[in-house]
């Protein structure tokens, strides 16, 4: 049984029916439906192409409506270069009727675009491309009304699970529900531009929410560490689930000067790494250029930043790898990291340091920064340093495991 529609929701439905001429409403068959799981009210209806042109908002958000210059959208970007999207546009121009486009009727922000898209942005974009050829084609919509922030995220999440949607987009939607602190911090330190959101898929330049969360978790883990004997950073889970981050987030001091400095130094490292790799003619692979925001490097470097945050001389060494570089030198020496391995132990398929995210790789990469800061005579990452760090980590691991076994005797 469908519960009685609240007056505030009914008012929105009446407004929608005045603004749009759906096939169902025109024939007196419009029904208000109720999603028991989310507690949301919606109607299923069909609208013509000509009625939705210029009315769909691809930047649906849960952010404050009075800050339209800083809105951050829930859904993913349009990927017009994908073959499947090209077929979709061709189908629309041939009169294809698309179904189950999910929107919310909401005039609280961008009132000229009242149909806030939560699912089906590619289909609507394809429909709009056919406006001059097939303006009278009907398309199926689920139109929601009066959604709360939690309902917006849930509806957007469910709507996007019926397509191939990246876990990074799900992370971004969940982070919006938690608040803007992570995004504000990354904008503040320069890893995101002002009014820029995290990438909804892996990107060589713009970090994802997973990268951001891994930075936060490991910086504060490192800051609490007592010594450098044996530590393993972590990479946060993805797909909307990140237990380590959810546990740490409430305690994070977003305005802490040392924390902000670490973020800014990561931005310098990222930009310097990209500039150095892109500015040379050899060994200029894309994965080398984006090495600084690869998950393993971010997690390990930020752990080290937390570890040395209160030791100015050692912190200066860690942050100083972006200084005094030769013409062809990148601060992370990505080629040396890619070629590092433990002979007789690592398989032929081993891709070097920073390529994978299992615990041993995290520990090895952290050891690179520890050896650099505490042991190296020349404060630059080299092939000898990278290989030595692997051996150092493996030795620490053996000692750690032996001590655990001895403790049980």
Residue 80 has a pLDDT of: 56
Helix (H) or strand (E) holding 178: helix 167-178
Contact 127, 93 (CB under 8 A): no
Contact 393, 363 (CB under 8 A): yes
Q: What is the DSSP string of 375-387?
A: T-SS-S--HHHHH
Residue 70 has a pLDDT of: 47
| pLDDT average, residue stretch 218-229 | 91
| pLDDT average, residue stretch 180-191 | 97
Pick from 216, 192, 204: which is nearest to 302 by CA?
216
Helix (H) or strand (E) holding 50: helix 49-52
Percent of the chain with pLDDT over 70: 93
Q: How confident is the model at residue 373 (pLDDT cuts 50, 70, 90)?
A: very high
What lies within 8 Å, CB to CB, of 74 at 6+ separation is: 60, 61, 62, 118, 152, 153, 156, 173, 176
Residue 165 has a pLDDT of: 62
Q: How confident is the model at residue 346 (pLDDT cuts 50, 70, 90)?
A: confident
CB contact burial 332-370 (16+ within 10 A = b; e otherwise): bbbbbbbebbeeeeeeeeeebbbebbeeebbbbbbbbbb
| pLDDT average, residue stretch 67-71 | 47
Cα angle value 394/286/369 (rounded, 5°): 30
For residues 88 and 98, give the distance between their C-alpha atoms in angstroms, rounded to a whole number.
Answer: 9
Q: How confident is the model at residue 78 (pLDDT cuts 50, 70, 90)?
A: low
Q: How confident is the model at residue 226 (pLDDT cuts 50, 70, 90)?
A: confident
Q: What is the dihedral of CA 380, 384, 386, 391, to 10 degrees?
A: -140
Check: pTM over 0.85? Answer yes or no: no
**Structure tokens that stand for 391 in this block:** 């051996």
Looking at every residue in the chain, the average pLDDT score rounds to 91
For residues 32 and 45, give the distance between their C-alpha atoms in angstroms, rounded to a whole number.
Answer: 10
**Structure tokens that stand for 44 in this block:** 């299923």
Residue 82 has a pLDDT of: 59
Q: How confident is the model at residue 95 (pLDDT cuts 50, 70, 90)?
A: very high
How does strand 56-57 pair with strand 115-119? parallel
Segment 104-151, tens digit of pLDDT? 999 998 899 999 998 888 899 899 999 999 999 999 999 999 999 899
- Residue ranges of the domains in the chain? 7-165, 181-407
E-strand spans in 106-154? 115-119, 138-145
What lies within 8 Å, CB to CB, of 323 at 6+ separation is: none
Pick from 229, 33, 59: which is nearest to 152 by CA?
59
Contacts 24+ apart (CB under 8 A), 309-315: 309/219, 309/222, 309/223, 309/258, 309/262, 310/258, 314/373, 314/374
Residue 69 has a pLDDT of: 44
| pLDDT average, residue stretch 27-46 | 94
Residue 284 has a pLDDT of: 93
Q: How confident is the model at residue 72 (pLDDT cuts 50, 70, 90)?
A: low
For residues 121 and 112, give the distance between their C-alpha atoms in angstroms, rounded to a whole number.
Answer: 17
pLDDT higher than threshold 80 for residue 272: yes
Q: Is 326 exposed, middle or buried (0-12, 13-18, 19+ CB in 10 A)?
A: exposed
Of residues 347 and 40, more confidently modeled: 40
Measured CA to CA in angstroms, residue 68 lies from 122, 144, 206, 376 at distances of: 23, 21, 22, 50
**Structure tokens that stand for 356 in this block:** 């994978």
Q: What is the DSSP string of 233-272?
A: ------SS--HHHHHHGGG--TT-HHHHHHHHHHHHHHHH
Residue indicated by tokens 């005039």: 107
| pLDDT average, residue stretch 206-221 | 97
Residue 198 has a pLDDT of: 95
Q: How confident is the model at residue 164 (pLDDT cuts 50, 70, 90)?
A: low
**Structure tokens that stand for 83 in this block:** 């073959």
Cα angle value 337/342/346 (rounded, 5°): 100
Q: Is 74 exposed, middle or buried (0-12, 13-18, 19+ CB in 10 A)?
A: buried
What lies within 8 Å, CB to CB, of 207 at 6+ separation is: 186, 191, 192, 198, 199, 293, 298
For residues 156 and 58, give the distance between their C-alpha atoms in angstroms, rounded to a whole number.
Answer: 12
**Alpha helices (runs of H) in 205-357, residue ranges in sequence order:** 209-224, 243-248, 257-278, 286-289, 295-307, 312-319, 334-339
Residue 66 has a pLDDT of: 42
| pLDDT average, residue stretch 76-84 | 59
| pLDDT average, residue stretch 291-297 | 97
Helix pair 181-189, 209-224: axis angle to 10 deg: 90
pLDDT higher than threshold 80 for residue 356: yes
């Amino acid at each position: 049984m469908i519960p009685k529609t609240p007056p505030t929701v009914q008012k929105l439905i009446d407004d929608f029916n005045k603004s749009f001429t759906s096939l169902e409403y025109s024939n007196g068959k419009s029904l208000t439906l109720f999603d028991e799981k989310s507690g949301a009210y919606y109607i299923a209806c069909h609208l013509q192409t000509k009625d939705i042109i210029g009315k769909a908002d691809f930047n649906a958000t849960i952010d404050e409506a009075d800050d339209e210059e800083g809105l951050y959208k829930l859904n993913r970007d349009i990927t017009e270069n994908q073959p499947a999207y090209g077929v979709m546009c061709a189908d629309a121009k041939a009169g294809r009727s698309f179904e189950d486009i999910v929107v919310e009727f909401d005039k609280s922000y961008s009132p000229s675009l009242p149909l806030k898209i939560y699912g089906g942005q590619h289909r609507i974009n394809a429909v709009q491309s056919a406006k001059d050829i097939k303006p009278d084609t009907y398309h199926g919509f689920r139109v929601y009304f009066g959604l709360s922030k939690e309902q917006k995220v849930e509806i957007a999440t469910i709507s996007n699970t019926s397509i191939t949607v990246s876990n990074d987009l799900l992370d971004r939607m969940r982070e919006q529900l938690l608040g803007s602190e992570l995004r504000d911090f990354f904008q503040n330190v320069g890893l995101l531009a002002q009014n820029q959101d995290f990438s909804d898929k892996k990107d060589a330049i713009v970090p994802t929410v997973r990268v951001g969360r891994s930075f936060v978790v490991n910086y504060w883990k490192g800051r609490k560490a007592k010594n450098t004997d044996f530590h393993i950073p972590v990479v946060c889970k993805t797909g909307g689930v990140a237990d380590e981050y959810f546990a740490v987030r409430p305690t994070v001091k977003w305005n802490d000067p040392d924390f902000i400095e670490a973020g800014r130094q990561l931005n310098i490292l990222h930009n310097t790494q990209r500039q150095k790799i892109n500015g040379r003619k050899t060994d200029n692979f894309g994965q080398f250029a984006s090495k600084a925001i690869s998950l393993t490097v971010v997690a390990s470097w930020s752990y080290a930043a937390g570890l040395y945050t209160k030791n100015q001389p050692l912190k200066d060494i860690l942050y100083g790898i972006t200084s005094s570089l030769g013409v062809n030198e990148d601060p992370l020496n990505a080629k040396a990291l890619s070629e590092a391995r433990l002979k007789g132990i690592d398989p032929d398929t081993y891709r070097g340091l920073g390529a994978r995210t299992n615990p041993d790789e995290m520990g090895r990469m952290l050891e690179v920064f520890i050896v650099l800061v505490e042991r190296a005579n020349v404060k630059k990452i080299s092939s000898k340093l990278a290989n030595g760090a692997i051996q150092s980590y493996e030795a620490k691991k053996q000692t750690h495991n032996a001590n655990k076994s001895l403790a049980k005797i």
